[in-house]
Copies of this chain bind each other. A is one copy, B any other.
Amino acid sequence: MTPSARPTPVYLDCDTGVDDALALALLLASPEADLVGVGTVSGNTGAEQAAANTLALLALAGRAGVPVAVGAGNASVPVPHIHGANGLGDVLLPASGESPAAESAAELLIGLSHTHAGRLHVVAVGPLTNLATALELDGTLPERVASVTVMGGAARSPGNITAVAEANIGNDPEAARRVFAAPWDITLVPLDVTLVNRLTEDDRRRLEESGRPVARTLGLILNRYFDFYVSVYGLRCAALHDPLAAALAIGCVEPLLAPRVSVTIDDTHGPGRGQTICDLRGQWRDYPEQPGVRSRVVLSTTQPLAPILMERLLAL
């Protein structure tokens, strides 16, 4: 970002959630971003709990004024073994004095799309229920949104809730199908790239031992999440799913290989339910253009996220 550039207005849709907390903190810590609103959705935890968590984190960061709206429930089942019973690794945060907005997350998003028409970046790091609802309420929404960045799905990588489905997409494939069918530019940040961007135990300890309240809290919150990842990687660490999507959306990490290819969501009730079917058949020919396609899939980045994330979180 050049010093004179205006920060990008960002609407964050999340199910806070340990890695959602990292994404939220990164957005708050980044000069490229102006976080103008947060909507919550059921996923890692329930939508109401996610809103309470988000409000508590915003208060801790001294940013209590950012509006937070509770969004929709869906068929997702909370995962206390990953994110804790409260979504934040069972770390108790001081409750925020603020309440969620009276409007729904979908209504907040539509409102922000008018306030920041043509400039609003949507960063969606939970199930796509709220975005699908917003599209249903107002089909003109895509005309006012500059870009949508979605953490979700898997292109070549296996899934994480089934062999092919990733949790955000798999928890509401019908919503995802509608979001990917809408006429806006979507950047998909799938497991292929989030699973190779990790925080180490050393990173976590540096956060926990920080004198600053947000960094220290994130270090504590990550503890249980690190336990869970032993079952994935065989060692304590954390995949940086949601913060990577936030980083790509605001440009503090850049895509290296991110072909513009069609993405079809499997919303059958068969074994492929929840898969993001990315058409990578052009792989041997540098991905020739697929006419009419507005989705791109990030398969690699120019630099790892962890160093940038750590620097910014420790300074927050």
Contact = CB atoms under 8 A, between A and B. Distances in A.
Contact of A266 (B264, B271, B278, B280): B271
A233 B284 contact: yes
A234 B285 contact: yes
Contacts of A285: 232-234
B281 A163 contact: yes
Interface in A165-213: 195
Contact of A268 (B157, B270, B277): B270
Interface in A145-176: 156-160, 163-164
A279 interface: yes
Contact of A232 (B163, B234, B272, B284): B284
A283 B158 contact: yes
A265 B164 CA distance: 12
A103 to B, nearest CB: 35
Contacts of A295: none
Nearest to A284: B233
A187 B159 CA distance: 22
Interface in A260-300: 262, 264-272, 275, 277-281, 283-285
Contacts of A164: 272, 275, 277
A267 B265 CA distance: 16
A272 B273 CA distance: 9
Interface residues of A, number: 30
A163 B280 contact: yes
Contact of A262 (B159, B163, B234, B283): B163
B264 A271 contact: yes
A51 to B, nearest CB: 31
Nearest to A288: B234
A57 B158 CA distance: 41
A259 to B, nearest CB: 11
A262 B267 CA distance: 22
29 contacts: A156-B156, A158-B279, A158-B281, A160-B281, A163-B262, A163-B277, A163-B278, A163-B280, A163-B281, A164-B272, A164-B275, A164-B277, A195-B284, A232-B284, A234-B284, A264-B271, A265-B271, A266-B271, A267-B270, A268-B269, A268-B270, A268-B271, A268-B272, A270-B270, A270-B272, A271-B272, A271-B277, A272-B275, A272-B277
**Ordered nearest first, which 10 A-B pairs have the shortest CB separation?**
A272-B272, A268-B270, A163-B279, A156-B156, A158-B280, A158-B281, A234-B285, A264-B271, A268-B268, A233-B284
Given A163-B280, A195-B284, A271-B272, 7 more contacts: A156-B156, A158-B280, A233-B284, A265-B271, A266-B271, A268-B271, A272-B275
